[in-house]
Homo-oligomer: A and B are copies of this chain.
Amino acid sequence: MQLDDLILVSIDDHVVEPPDVFDHHLPDRWREIAPRVERAEAGADVWVFNGAKVPNLAINAVSGLFPEEYGLEPTAYEQIRPGTYDIHERIRDMDANGVLGSLNFPSFPGFSGRLFATLDDKEAALALVQAYNDWHIDEWCGTYPGRMIPCIITPIWDPEAMAAEVRRTAAKGAHAVTFCENPTKLGYPSLHTDHWDPFWAACAEEGTNVCLHIGSSSQLAITSPDAPVDVMIVLQGMNLVQAAADLAYSKLFAKFPELMISLTEGGIGWVPYFNERIDDTWRVHHAWTGADFGGRMPSEIMREHVVLCFIKDPHGLRTAREIGVERICWETDYPHSDSPWPNAPERLWEELAGADLTNDEVDLITHGNAMRHYSYDPFRHIDRADATVGALRAKAAAAGVDTALRSSGRPIPEREGPLTIMDVQKVATA
């Protein structure tokens, strides 16, 4: 196998919603309450919703910008790459990166769609969730069949309504949903209650994979506000270790044997350690904690039910068999700052060279697992020969996709010494 022969599906990228999200799918009676984009000032577009301005129009959408500018949170469409919000441009950017398929998470509604929960009128809020999903499935994913994997949001304030939306969208072909890695941080009951059972049941029955993205509880691990921002970045994946521990000792998989969950952007290299830790905790402590896995080990159960993914993770690839090759997916995180776009294939190839995997295993990790876990079949629409890194990049080259780095146009402010978490939070909320 050569680099150009890889077929790449990324299960974690992001859409910056264009201004017309609610133009074609929202019933007229809710027109007035639809979020809309306003130009607040030069270089600042904001979503206006429910009487408030939502600042994160283009959260961390920095692919294609000079790395020196990553710290300047983009605040307007003109500052970001059109591939972030325009599906035609997105496909061109995917081609240039050799990526066949992509699962996209939302930006301004929050990873779990929590924004819509702020509306008192829950009927209206549900209409917005549905319109968002219809836009996502029909327009964002539907324009180029076989290229995008739909991932829906849900009305998180009502588990029965969540279940109904999972079923409604599954009927339209969507088999991934973005939820929250720790609902208690958003003020909802934990994974250890029965509260969410209708939702889990619907996902299990419909084969809809529940994606828990880092930061989806709207919190990241922060050691102290004056720590270098790098500390927060280093720890991003580790946010999901807590969710993994919750899942491992939850009743979810005993109650819903068909349920599948993804830990998105959590990386994989920590999993061999974690597997041993959850099993040893059972061995040493179950006599007093009462933990009971029906004669099995928690790591076995996790291996069957929890999908993992990585952007760059050489140690994880070297230990892929220990982790479970059949549950490892790949991601590019476009257009966020950790994304290796447009050089993701080269980076992956280098890491695969350091791992001792068969071609079949590589195929699973690069696309086979994503196809199975998210009920995604690009080959109904696209010939395999046209789906490879080489073929897609040839298409991008022919179409003249320009991947040269550029400036967002915003001046970089003077600063003294390394940026702290506090500095970046000031920029983000400015």
Name which residue of chain B comes closest to A275, CB basis: B315
A50 to chain B, nearest CB (A): 28
A200 to chain B, nearest CB (A): 17
Interface size of A by CB at 8 A reads 70
Interface status of A285 (Cβ within 8 A of chain B): yes
When the two chains form their complex, are residues A289 and B227 in contact, meaning their CB atoms are under 8 A apart? Answer: no
* Identical subunits present: 2
Known contacts A190-B226, A190-B227; decide if A292 and B245 are in contact (CB<8 Å).
Answer: no
When the two chains form their complex, are residues A272 and B315 in contact, meaning their CB atoms are under 8 A apart? Answer: yes
Chain A 274-316, CB-CB to B under 8 Å as 1, else 0, gives 1111101110111111111000000000000000000011111
User: For window 224-266 of chain A, which residues contact chain B by CB distance below 8 Å?
Assistant: 224, 226-231, 233-235, 237-238, 241-243, 245-246, 248-250
A276 to chain B, nearest CB (A): 6
Out of B69, B245, B287, B322, name the residue touching A234 (CB < 8 Å): B245
Interface status of A270 (Cβ within 8 A of chain B): yes
A191 to chain B, nearest CB (A): 8
**Stretch from A40-48, A111-119, A141-149, A412-420 at the B interface:** A412-420
When the two chains form their complex, are residues B226 and A338 in contact, meaning their CB atoms are under 8 A apart? Answer: no
Out of B231, B278, B315, name the residue touching A249 (CB < 8 Å): B231
Interface status of A70 (Cβ within 8 A of chain B): yes
Chain A interfacial positions (CB closer than 8 Å to B) = 66-71, 182, 184, 190-193, 221, 223-224, 226-231, 233-235, 237-238, 241-243, 245-246, 248-250, 267, 269-270, 272-278, 280-282, 284-292, 312-316, 319, 322, 337-338, 415, 417-420
A59 to chain B, nearest CB (A): 16
Known contacts A233-B285, A238-B238; decide if A227 and B419 are in contact (CB<8 Å).
Answer: no
A292 to chain B, nearest CB (A): 7
A417 to chain B, nearest CB (A): 6
Alpha-carbon separation in the docked complex, A284 to B238 (Å): 18
Out of B231, B246, B280, B415, name the residue touching A227 (CB < 8 Å): B246
A270 CB contacts on chain B under 8 angstroms: 270, 273-274
Alpha-carbon separation in the docked complex, A234 to B245 (Å): 7
When the two chains form their complex, are residues B276 and A313 in contact, meaning their CB atoms are under 8 A apart? Answer: yes
Alpha-carbon separation in the docked complex, A418 to B192 (Å): 11
A288 CB contacts on chain B under 8 angstroms: 67-71, 419
Name which residue of chain B comes closest to A292, CB basis: B418
Q: List 19 A-B contacts (CB under 8 A).
A: A66-B287, A68-B287, A69-B288, A70-B285, A71-B289, A184-B224, A192-B228, A223-B245, A230-B249, A230-B286, A231-B245, A231-B246, A231-B249, A272-B315, A276-B315, A288-B419, A289-B418, A289-B419, A319-B319
